[in-house]
Chain A
Amino acid sequence: MVMKLRKYIDTYSDFRFIIENLELESSFSKQILLEKPFLTNKKEIENQYYRIKSLLNSISRIDFLLNDFKREKHRLCELRDIRGTISRLESGAILDDIELFELKSLALTSSKINTLLLEYKLDEFTTITIDQVLSLLDPEGKNIGSFYVYDSYSQELRELRSKYKQNPEDSDLLDAVFNKESEIRASISKEISKDVELIKEVLFSLAELDILIAKTLQIVEFKLTIPKIEDGLLCYQNMFHPKVEASLLMENKQFQPINIKLDNMLPVLITGANMGGKSVVLKTLALNQILFQFGFGIPAESAQISIVESIHFCSGDDQNIDKGLSSFAAEILKINKVLEEIRRGKRILALIDEPARTTNPEEGTALTESLVDMLKQKNVLSVVTTHYNVSNNKCLRYRVKGIENGKMNYTLTETDTHFVPKEAINIARTLGVDEEWVSKTEEILSLKQK
């Protein structure tokens, strides 16, 4: 089953933030976007990025006119979902004024957008036009969006109407006018229905254009990058999470960009102090993978990304009270799903946040250690975070630098020791919790060490 984009919006990754900040002009385009499939075909992803890249190049050429272009692309907001009208046209129905108006509006929008694209020398993005439909619905060549059955369609109609104007009380005359109008609508509908395939194509290609422009402008606005497609490798230089960055900015803080590299040879194990941003790393990796497989710009300075068939994010926070599962049980079952997928030989990205953290440290450590062992599979890209001393050599270790001079340093560094940093007490103290509790804890620890 192919997963649709809408399924990913409200996941751990905060993909919603990206979608909400995508400046689509038409709500129809958004509907189309939400139905986009999770791409796993290299050609398709390449094609998406190829289009974005060439639009990006063309846009940077019109740099100083970019704001004008942004304003003028607003014409796309006229794009409406007229699939209902189109299917009525296909079934040979006689369209009413409202439906003919919608078709005229589509034809007019497509013609205006193409003019705009040519004006900005964006020729390669123009779509086909349906000028024949437009001229049929705009017999007087007024080039405005409004519509009614114009006098110029028929001399008979013109005469009937002018007679009616003299005798506005004559309801038989009005009926005659309406009958003539219906006749004309029938013949227009018949004529237009010949072009129904073209009309469909115009509708969808304008939605695609809206999506393409929005994605491209988002790259400029959020300083995103276009990734390289690699096999079995994830490598990010200065990656960031746009939503976390935005909320930090609100507090006048800066997001510290992350460098991370992993491949399908070794699982990655991240250790580090609490509040060190381990979960943010996982969240960002998840977001970037989703963005990549739907052909969006990637929040990083540079990115090399491998295609996977599914993304798994497991965190101990999940509780499933409905099913009567504790947080531990829910988590273990979720991780088990990952192992099932691995056994089926699927290419996956597994992001596992502090596995077994809600149980006793002895068993928890063992569970984590064996899990890391099992993640070492050729189709699997995996990142696990933990506070346990996992003495497993078959993994790549990263450590969050942690507190330096009283400030948190979020930088990830490669490390070879399996001893986890012990900063819980320091952090508790900086948070200003009860001093007696902290000092008693220290006492207990020093007793144990003796």
Chain B
Amino acid sequence: MPFIQQILKSDSLSIVGLEKNTGKTVCLNYVLERLKGYKVKMAVTSIGIDGESRDQVTNTQKPEIFLSENTIFATSEKHYKERRLISELISIGSEMTSLGRIVTACTKYEGKVLLSGPSSTASLSRWITETRKTTETDLIIVDGALSRLSLASPAICSSMILSTGAALSSNIKTLVNKTAYVVELIKVDITKHFKVLTSDKFTNGIFVLCNNEWIKLKTESSLVFNGDDASLLEDCEAVYISGALTDRFLNLVSQKNGTLLPEVIVKDFTKIFVSEPIFRNFSKRGGRIKVLSKSSLIAVCVNPLSPAGFRLDSDILCKELSDKIELPVYDIVKNGYEA
């Protein structure tokens, strides 16, 4: 059976879908089903509520997750009240989300539940710490929507499974390239400055490293960067952006430096909003993007069926993607892997 052994080695796993209908839930249910036999105590949650409202707009039902007996899960008050599951309530969080507070419970009998957990990276990380402390959990699984709207980043989990599929593109080549680019971003290395940059001083803003000293720029975000501090960017060794890294900002960094491009550091790969050509151009000129935290990508799962109704050739898709990203790629539904 593929990649389950690798999951067992890690203490937290996120399952991330590149687009809706790429089979993320199928993948999550598959992992949960396979892990059943291993006596691993699991805690499951999902991030982001944006997915929820979108579901209400398109009026499609968010798929339920099947949990086996004695599994910890976190969901919103609203969804807890609607559960069709017999479970014991363990704790109620204090943060409010649009669906109420986040409650943590343990299943008494197996059953289905809708997951809608913490909506920011900070609260997700608090939930993980708290859950580890109060329950004897071996593995945390986060259902992570890689939506640009979600404030929570799945990158705080130590390992990751990516799901992609025909919903992202109907053309195998485009699909492979788009997915490969995200995989490349996920694999971006951790910076050697990460110890310094994870201190509280660097929570918000843009910082540059000049002569072994980190200087904070007046501009708070690369979105509103207007070139006021451009001279500081001119000859710095590294730039750290706590927020989003945009095309415009990366262009600015590459323009200002004639020969030696600085290392550009972001929190994690979800903060890189740079389009592929600009990323390539930056890399080609010797520029490097680094992160503060990363997950190790265990596998990529594909769903060849698009919501519009057509189906890509699963074997070709798996092979082409696998060749390109040098990682195993699985079509879980088609192959119905068994333990």
Name A residues whose Cβ lies closer than 8 Å to a Cβ of B.
Answer: 27, 80, 96-98, 101-102, 145-148, 161, 164-165, 168, 171, 174, 177-178
Determine if B86 and A148 form an interchain contact, defined as CB atoms under 8 angstroms apart: yes
Determine if B89 and A147 form an interchain contact, defined as CB atoms under 8 angstroms apart: yes
Give the complex CA separation of A147 and B110 in angstroms: 17
- Render B31-60 as a binary contact track against A, CB cut-off 8 A, 1 for contact: 000000000000000000000000000000
Determine if A148 and B109 form an interchain contact, defined as CB atoms under 8 angstroms apart: no
Determine if B90 and A98 form an interchain contact, defined as CB atoms under 8 angstroms apart: no
**Do most interface residues of chain B lie in helix, strand or loop, or is the interface mixed?**
strand
A151 closest partner in B (C-beta):
B108
Give the complex CA separation of A444 and B19 in angstroms: 79
Name B residues whose Cβ lies closer than 8 Å to a Cβ of A.
Answer: 77, 80-81, 84, 86-92, 94, 103, 105-106, 108-111
Given contacts A168-B111, A178-B84, list 9 more A-B pairs with CB under 8 A. A80-B92, A98-B80, A102-B92, A146-B89, A146-B90, A146-B91, A146-B106, A148-B89, A165-B109
Determine if A97 and B89 form an interchain contact, defined as CB atoms under 8 angstroms apart: yes
Determine if B87 and A164 form an interchain contact, defined as CB atoms under 8 angstroms apart: no
Shortest C-beta distance, A371 to chain B (Å), equals 45
| A98 and B92 contact, Cβ closer than 8 Å, known pairs A148-B86, A174-B84 | yes
Q: Which B residues are CB-close (under 8 A) to A102?
A: 92
Q: Which A residues are CB-close (under 8 A) to B106?
A: 146
B84 closest partner in A (C-beta):
A174
Determine if A148 and B81 form an interchain contact, defined as CB atoms under 8 angstroms apart: no
Specify which of B77, B86, B88, B108 is in contact with A98 (CB 8 Å cutoff). B77
Give the complex CA separation of A101 and B77 in angstroms: 12
Specify which of A148, A161, A168 is in contact with B87 (CB 8 Å cutoff). A148
Give the complex CA separation of A164 and B86 in angstroms: 11
Shortest C-beta distance, A207 to chain B (Å), equals 15
Specify which of A96, A145, A164, A171 is in contact with B90 (CB 8 Å cutoff). A145
Give the complex CA separation of A230 and B243 in angstroms: 57
Q: Which A residues are CB-close (under 8 A) to B87?
A: 148
Shortest C-beta distance, B172 to chain A (Å), equals 38
Shortest C-beta distance, B338 to chain A (Å), equals 21
Determine if A145 and B91 form an interchain contact, defined as CB atoms under 8 angstroms apart: yes
Q: Which A residues are CB-close (under 8 A) to B92?
A: 80, 98, 101-102
Shortest C-beta distance, B266 to chain A (Å), equals 33
Give the complex CA separation of A359 and B263 in angstroms: 58
Give the complex CA separation of A178 and B92 in angstroms: 22
Determine if B109 and A96 form an interchain contact, defined as CB atoms under 8 angstroms apart: no
Give the complex CA separation of A171 and B111 in angstroms: 11
Determine if A98 and B109 form an interchain contact, defined as CB atoms under 8 angstroms apart: no
Give the complex CA separation of A178 and B111 in angstroms: 13
Determine if A168 and B110 form an interchain contact, defined as CB atoms under 8 angstroms apart: yes
Shortest C-beta distance, A156 to chain B (Å), equals 15
Shortest C-beta distance, A147 to chain B (Å), equals 5
Shortest C-beta distance, A186 to chain B (Å), equals 16
Q: Which B residues are CB-close (under 8 A) to A97?
A: 80-81, 89
Determine if B90 and A168 form an interchain contact, defined as CB atoms under 8 angstroms apart: no
9 contacts between A and B (CB under 8 A): A97-B89, A146-B88, A146-B91, A147-B88, A148-B108, A164-B109, A168-B109, A174-B84, A178-B84
Give the complex CA separation of A178 and B85 in angstroms: 9
Give the complex CA separation of A178 and B77 in angstroms: 18
Q: Which B residues are CB-close (under 8 A) to A164?
A: 86, 109
Give the one of A101, A168, A178 with max B CB within 10 A. Answer: A101
Give the complex CA separation of A172 and B273 in angstroms: 49
B109 closest partner in A (C-beta):
A165
Shortest C-beta distance, A101 to chain B (Å), equals 5
Give the complex CA separation of A165 and B108 in angstroms: 10
Q: Which B residues are CB-close (under 8 A) to A145?
A: 90-91
Give the complex CA separation of A174 and B81 in angstroms: 15
| A148 and B103 contact, Cβ closer than 8 Å, known pairs A96-B81, A161-B109, A168-B109 | no
Q: Which B residues are CB-close (under 8 A) to A171?
A: 84
Give the complex CA separation of A273 and B121 in angstroms: 53
Give the complex CA separation of A220 and B239 in angstroms: 46
Q: Which A residues are CB-close (under 8 A) to B84?
A: 171, 174, 178
Shortest C-beta distance, B81 to chain A (Å), equals 6
Shortest C-beta distance, B77 to chain A (Å), equals 6
B111 closest partner in A (C-beta):
A168
Determine if A101 and B86 form an interchain contact, defined as CB atoms under 8 angstroms apart: no
Specify which of A80, A96, A147, A177 is in contact with B86 (CB 8 Å cutoff). A177
| A161 and B81 contact, Cβ closer than 8 Å, known pairs A146-B106, A168-B110, A168-B111 | no
Q: Which A residues are CB-close (under 8 A) to B81?
A: 96-98
Give the complex CA separation of A177 and B109 in angstroms: 12
Q: Which A residues are CB-close (under 8 A) to B108?
A: 148
Determine if B89 and A101 form an interchain contact, defined as CB atoms under 8 angstroms apart: yes
Give the complex CA separation of A165 and B91 in angstroms: 25
10 closest pairs, A vs B, by CB?
A148-B88, A146-B90, A101-B89, A146-B88, A147-B89, A97-B89, A146-B89, A165-B109, A96-B81, A168-B110
Give the complex CA separation of A148 and B94 in angstroms: 20
B88 closest partner in A (C-beta):
A148
Give the complex CA separation of A96 and B81 in angstroms: 8
Determine if B110 and A98 form an interchain contact, defined as CB atoms under 8 angstroms apart: no
Determine if B109 and A27 form an interchain contact, defined as CB atoms under 8 angstroms apart: no
Give the one of A102, A145, A177 with max B CB within 10 A. Answer: A145
Shortest C-beta distance, A184 to chain B (Å), equals 13
Q: Which A residues are CB-close (under 8 A) to B80?
A: 97-98
Give the complex CA separation of A168 and B109 in angstroms: 9
Give the complex CA separation of A338 and B57 in angstroms: 59
Shortest C-beta distance, B75 to chain A (Å), equals 11
Q: Which A residues are CB-close (under 8 A) to B90?
A: 145-146
Give the complex CA separation of A206 and B28 in angstroms: 43
B110 closest partner in A (C-beta):
A168
Q: Which B residues are CB-close (under 8 A) to A80?
A: 92, 94
Give the complex CA separation of A164 and B89 in angstroms: 20
Give the complex CA separation of A161 and B89 in angstroms: 17
Shortest C-beta distance, A401 to chain B (Å), equals 41
Shortest C-beta distance, B126 to chain A (Å), equals 14
Give the complex CA separation of A98 and B83 in angstroms: 12
Shortest C-beta distance, A130 to chain B (Å), equals 19
Give the complex CA separation of A174 and B84 in angstroms: 8
Q: Which A residues are CB-close (under 8 A) to B110?
A: 168
A149 closest partner in B (C-beta):
B86
Q: Which B residues are CB-close (under 8 A) to A27?
A: 94
Give the complex CA separation of A327 and B288 in angstroms: 55
Specify which of B77, B86, B91 is in contact with A161 (CB 8 Å cutoff). B86
B81 closest partner in A (C-beta):
A96
A178 closest partner in B (C-beta):
B84
Give the complex CA separation of A161 and B91 in angstroms: 23
Determine if B111 and A98 form an interchain contact, defined as CB atoms under 8 angstroms apart: no
Shortest C-beta distance, B137 to chain A (Å), equals 15
Shortest C-beta distance, B72 to chain A (Å), equals 11
Give the complex CA separation of A145 and B94 in angstroms: 16
Q: Which A residues are CB-close (under 8 A) to B86?
A: 148, 161, 164, 177
Give the complex CA separation of A145 and B87 in angstroms: 14
Q: Which B residues are CB-close (under 8 A) to A168?
A: 109-111
Determine if A98 and B103 form an interchain contact, defined as CB atoms under 8 angstroms apart: yes
